[in-house]
Amino acid sequence: MTVLELRSVSKVYGRGAAEVQALRDVSLTVAAGEMVAVMGPSGSGKSSLLTIAGTLEEPTAGAVLVNGKDTLRMSGGAKSQLRRRAIGYVFQDFNLLPGLTAAENVSLPLELDGTSMRKAHLAALAALEELGLGDRARRFPDQLSGGERQRVAIARAVVGERSLLLADEPSGALDTQNGEAVLRLIHGYCKRGTAAVVVTHDAQLASWADRIVFLRDGRLVDQTAAPAGPETLLEQPS
């Protein structure tokens, strides 16, 4: 089942001499259970692709469908609801609210969406527990390590059965071990049915994805083949 579909999406910022073509005729579909990484140098359009896929920005041309619905035809209210219920975001700098505990940060999107405080709190605790942060639920962001903060951000992004997870350099500020743990978690969610798009310039992190697409100057120029199966690596020529 297709969760995200970009149809011939283009994005232009500015006008005239200052015009920048960030995306050119990009088409991409991501199925439920699939993790796609988007790789490309700075300025290739990676972040624009992600904000447009997340309906935070509108494309100049083309269409964006989430769970089969054309987001450009939605009312503002319907789009906000889609962002709260179906889409989870993970950013490089975590974006946790400093005045709220880990559990409150995670439960906030559910509460904003009308879930009762008690139910939202229980869901947040369950999500934190699953990410190994059960004993950190009452801590504030500045009492957590970088790796823990990013895991809280992931808990917030996945709480309440989101179908689409969007991540921009999700382990950018983390060391190798913590970065790997974050990607392992995201891929774990995908195996249970979530669709994910992860933007990164780091090949090691991208290699967690089921498919990697390459952006150059706003165009999707290439993508990896379906995995051949790891067994082939360990077969030694004798």
Residue choice 15, 17, 18, 234 for contact with other proteins (CB under 8 A): 234
Residue choice 167, 206, 215, 220 for contact with other proteins (CB under 8 A): 206
Q: Which amino acid is at 153?
A: A
Nearest-approach distance from CB 82 to other proteins, in angstroms: 31
Classify residue 226 by its DSSP letter: P
By CB neighbour count within 10 A (0-12 exposed, 13-18 middle, 19+ buried), where does 139 fall?
middle
Any residues with CB less than 8 A from the CB of 181 and at least 6 apart, and which?
147, 151
CA distances from 24 to 59, 78, 98, 107 (A): 10, 27, 38, 37
Of 120 and 197, which has the nearer Cβ to other proteins?
Answer: 197
- The side-by-side arrangement of strands in the sheet containing 69-70 is 20-31, 2-13, 61-66, 69-70
Of 56 and 188, which has the nearer Cβ to other proteins?
Answer: 188
Residue choice 110, 209, 215, 220 for contact with other proteins (CB under 8 A): 209
Nearest-approach distance from CB 196 to other proteins, in angstroms: 15
Q: Does 91 bind other proteins (CB under 8 A)?
A: no
* CB half-sphere exposure, 85, CA atoms < 13 A: 11
Of 39 and 87, which has the nearer Cβ to other proteins?
Answer: 39
- The answer to whether 45 touches 20, Cβ cutoff 8 Å, is no
Distance CA 151, CA 201 (A): 20
Of 89 and 208, which has the nearer Cβ to other proteins?
Answer: 208
Residue choice 89, 94, 189, 208 for contact with other proteins (CB under 8 A): 208
The interface with other proteins within residues 19-48 (CB under 8 A) comprises 39, 41
Q: Which amino acid is at 114?
A: G
Residue choice 7, 85, 187, 219 for contact with other proteins (CB under 8 A): 187
Which listed range, 61-69, 129-137, 167-175, 209-217, lies at the site for other proteins (CB under 8 A)? 209-217
What does the binding site for other proteins look like in residue numbers (CB under 8 A)? 39, 41, 184, 187, 201, 203-204, 206-209, 212, 214, 216, 221-225, 227-230, 232-234, 236
